[in-house]
Amino acid sequence: MSTPWHILGAGSLGTLWATRLARADVPVRLIVRDATRLQAYQTAGGLTLVEHGEAQLYPVPGETADSDEPIRRLLVACKAYDAEEAVARLAHRLTPDAELILLQNGLGSQDAVAAQVPQARCIFASSTEGAFRDGDWRVVFAGHGYTWLGDAGHPVAPIWLEDLSAAGIPHEWSTDILTRLWRKLALNCAINPLTVLHECRNGGLQQHHCEVATLCAELTELLERCGQPAAAENLRVEVERVIQATAANFSSMYQDVANQRRTEISYLLGHACKVASRHQLNLPHLNQLQQRLIAHLHSLGLPSD
């Protein structure tokens, strides 16, 4: 009997993984916030995956953090600002050989989670898959992407990657996962905050070429100072390519603000500014961008942490 996957977080990526694993007959359990949510989930009868316009229901068993079943494999798919507390509530259920797959945006939350559960192996993940929820317990698969997984302290790939292959989840084991996460963080810092402040799609940043270039120069300096020269390589070219390739899209931070949701600013721009300060690196435009974004969030009545 293969080890069950416990999925923490019923957002778009958590639901996308849960339904594809269930479709491949891999045992899956969905952990929801509380008894009220569990009742709502059970009423819905499971998770629905919408792909190519076709909706399919998967009756994935649901539970709360208080369930008794030990957890050996946990996909942490909640927001970066929720991850540490959510894992702390489950810590007593983790087996001595537990493995956590951390699917958070930005940087900072992964180390906080790992500190909560020192006995567990924490695997960092970075995904470019596109999905969005169009209702409770429903996810629409919007765009094929890739998920990179890695463990900076233990580079040997785990055997359960076979489950991802069976489920049709495109993935690759990366021996330089921190480089990938830093690169993605830099891309997000150069694009997402500006789309919020200029209230535009990604393509709208083509009108703010100088501002983007200045940020890329400072982010490149930061990455090199952090010992991530590979993540810094041709950053500006990559940012401009992403802006062009995703011109019609709204960034995830733009969508959070438009929907009056808390953003992950602390784990993106906030993390970059904090690390720069730790290295005594003066990055005026990056710091100014953070202050502008905080002021903008406050003006909308949204939290800035």
DSSP E strand stretches across the chain: 5-8, 28-32, 47-51, 54-58, 62-64, 71-76, 94-102, 121-127, 130-135, 138-143, 147-150, 171-173
The C-alpha atoms of residue 116 and residue 91 are separated, in whole angstroms, by: 8
List the one residue out of 132, 139, 256 whose CA is nearest residue 188.
256
Question: In 2-81, at which residue ranges do the beta strands (DSSP E only) sit?
Answer: 5-8, 28-32, 47-51, 54-58, 62-64, 71-76
Closest CA to 94 of 54, 51, 65, 130: 65
Residue 144: per-residue pLDDT: 81
Which residues are catalytic, by number? 184
User: Could you please report the per-residue DSSP string of 66-103?
Assistant: T----EEEEEE-S-HHHHHHHHHHHGGGEEEEEEEEE-
What is residue 145's three-state secondary structure? coil
Element (H, E) at 230: helix 229-232
Edge-to-edge order in the sheet of strand 147-150: 62-64, 28-32, 5-8, 71-76, 94-102, 121-127, 147-150, 171-173
Rounded Cα distance between 253 and 107, Å, is: 15
Predicted confidence at residue 130, as pLDDT, reads 84
Paired tokens of 220: 């490149």
Query: Measured in Å, how far apart are the chain's first and last C-alpha atoms?
Result: 42
**CA atoms of 46 and 187, how far apart (whole Å):** 35
Dihedral of the alpha carbons of 264, 270, 275, 281, in degrees to the nearest 10: 150
In the chain, helix, strand, coil percent, each to 5? 50, 20, 30
Chain centre to alpha carbon of residue 261:
15
- What CA–CA distance (Å, rounded) separates 98 from 16? 22
Three-state SS at 213: helix
d(CA 278, CA 80): 21
What is the spatial distance between Cα 302 and Cα 281, in angstroms, rounded to a whole number? 29
In a structure prediction context, what are the per-residue pLDDT tens digits for the chain, which is 305 residues long?
689 999 999 999 999 999 999 999 999 999 999 999 999 999 999 999 999 999 999 999 999 999 999 999 999 999 999 999 999 999 999 999 999 999 999 999 999 999 999 999 999 999 988 888 889 999 999 878 899 999 988 999 999 999 999 999 999 999 999 999 999 999 999 999 999 999 999 999 999 999 999 999 999 999 999 999 999 999 999 999 999 999 998 998 999 999 999 999 999 999 999 999 999 999 999 999 999 999 999 999 999 98
- Which residue type is seen at 236? R
